Amino acid sequence: MPVPSLFASSSRLLAPLAAVGLLTVLTSCVQAAPPVSANSDDPNANPNFNGLPFDSEIVEVKTRPGEEVATLAGGCFWCTEAVFERMEGVNDVVSGYIGGKIKNPNYKQVCGKMTGHAEAVQIYYDPSKTDFEELLKVFFKTHDPTTLNRQGADGGPQYRSSIFVHNDEQREIAKKTMEKLGEEYRDPIVTLIEPATKFYVAEEYHQDYYRRNPNAGYCQAVVAAKVRKFNRNFGDKIKGSGK
């Protein structure tokens, strides 16, 4: 990934990341990832996790009045964030880490595959304009749900395809949506359904990354293709400012 610039970001975020150590973090994360079996449906199967337990309890997320939240992991969060920021009905998208076994993970730790966290986004949306099922349709059409721990050249459990559900209703919608879409793919959908445990907001430079760094190499090579795919398949769902 390219060395990113530091910018201000979402009003939901906490203190910005200090620049110290940024290059070290990025260097660690661009190293080639060891192969991980896409047939495993359990992130604990990775030997790097040392058998330690993962979070298992759903954590309540505070939302504004008239707003709901969805948490999705579909590879590098730069891509997922860029797609949903364009979607009508979405108020905000925050990149972060979820589904691991340590508190307050950082990018270097997550990329090192030692924490079990996935790169994910929390999507704050207006249920009067869109709903969880519509979000899932966009999610499945803009990443590969048949490769559990890999998206393109990005490999490892931090890039797993997963839906982190906040309640039983979301769990049932996720199951039914996967069943409906299953016949559209040549290979089986291997996306996980996991409890929405503690979500740790990623470092400041990750937030709104594509919007602020559209000419960066990774954005041009990978993120832009995901955005174009959203534009082609969901033209009627693009926010007015993005059409």
Name the 3-class secondary structure at 161: strand
Name the 3-class secondary structure at 201: strand
pLDDT (0 to 100) of residue 160: 96
Domain residue ranges of the chain, discontinuous segments joined by +: 46-237
Nearest to 177 by CA among 72, 30, 89: 72
Which one from 76, 79, 111, 219 is the annotated catalytic residue?
76
Neighbouring-strand partners of residue 191: none
pLDDT exceeds 60 at position 79: yes
pLDDT (0 to 100) of residue 240: 82
pLDDT exceeds 80 at position 110: yes
pLDDT exceeds 50 at position 93: yes
Question: What integer is the mean pLDDT of 141-162?
Answer: 94
Question: What integer is the mean pLDDT of 192-199?
Answer: 96
Residues constituting the chain: 243
pLDDT exceeds 50 at position 33: no
Question: What integer is the mean pLDDT of 97-126?
Answer: 95
Does domain 46-237 sit in CATH 2.30.40.10? Answer: no
Terminal C-alpha separation, the chain: 28
Is 111 among the catalytic positions? Answer: no
Q: Angle at Cα 97 formed by Cα 111 and Cα 120, nearest 5°?
A: 100
Confidence class of residue 52 from pLDDT cuts 50, 70 and 90? very low
pLDDT exceeds 50 at position 2: no
pLDDT exceeds 90 at position 168: yes
pLDDT per residue over 55-71, tens digit each? 667 888 989 999 999 99
pLDDT (0 to 100) of residue 44: 42
In angstroms, the Cα distances linking 201 to 1, 120, 121, 146 are 19, 9, 9, 27
Whole-angstrom distance, CA of residue 136 vs CA of residue 27: 33
Burial of 112: CB neighbours in 10 Å, binned 0-12, 13-18, 19+ = middle
pLDDT (0 to 100) of residue 59: 87
pLDDT (0 to 100) of residue 36: 33
Mean pLDDT value across the chain: 82
pTM (2 decimals)?
Answer: 0.79
pLDDT: is 27 or 104 the higher one? Answer: 104
pLDDT exceeds 90 at position 16: no
